[in-house]
Chain A
Amino acid sequence: DSGVTQTPKHLITATGQRVTLRCSPRSGDLSVYWYQQSLDQGLQFLIQYYNGEERAKGNILERFSAQQFPDLHSELNLSSLELGDSALYFCASSVGGLPYQETQYFGPGTRLLVL
């Protein structure tokens, strides 16, 4: 157990809908990262937050957004869902973003199925 929690574990929804995925980092970690893992795309970095502020942005679609709250938990919002959004979404956390603080610990993931 990495200490990172994600809810829900599974999510089934329909095209066009909107969902929210939640992540709680390890105690003391200030950075949260979001990743998408699909069979044909591998692991894709979406976005990173550090202490409530966006730190880095990867291949995140405009239909997706995220935020990190004052208690450091983070939410990833996916809207106007398409079949191709079906994937495993991982959250990871690290102490910070500075050198020697960037070891990431992954949560168990949320499996999203869009029908």
Chain B
Amino acid sequence: GENVEQHPSTLSVQEGDSAVIKCTYSDSASNYFPWYKQELGKRPQLIIDIRSNVGEKKDQRIAVTLNKTAKHFSLHITETQPEDSAVYFCAARWPGNQFYFGTGTSLTVIP
């Protein structure tokens, strides 16, 4: 069935360290993978996305990698800052244009 698994569910890192969040998806025909950051009580905000014809994309301290063979994609945040603390969601778009989300990772950056 449709499924996006996300790990870990919680992550604590020291300020300045890197954070990595991983997601796997079940439909090999999925073609678009966005990542969202959601602060407490606020709306999800897109931070980076990647399409199935690209293996890696970087935007300043944030990068996403996609392994289509293994059906997984990862979010990498380098030089973490306290303001990076939030819940991060991955998502995958199925061929029928439905979106399926991971269960979220609560990231805490310790000053």
Contact = CB atoms under 8 A, between A and B. Distances in A.
Interface string B64-108: 000000000000000000000000010101001111111110000
Given A99-B51, A102-B32, A102-B93, A45 B46 contact: no
A101 B79 CA distance: 30
A95 to B, nearest CB: 13
A18 interface: no
Central interface residue in A33, A43, A90, by most chain B CB within 10 Å: A43
Interface in A56-115: 56-58, 90, 97, 99, 102-109
Contacts of A45: 98-101
Given A42-B89, A106-B44, A58 B99 contact: yes
A2 interface: yes
A108 B41 CA distance: 9
Contact of A42 (B43, B46, B97, B102): B102
B104 A42 contact: yes
Contacts of B103: 42
A38 B36 CA distance: 16
Nearest 4 A/B pairs, CB to CB: A56-B97, A106-B43, A43-B101, A45-B99
Given A43-B44, A99-B32, A103-B34, 9 more contacts: A42-B104, A45-B99, A48-B98, A56-B96, A57-B98, A58-B99, A102-B32, A104-B46, A107-B43
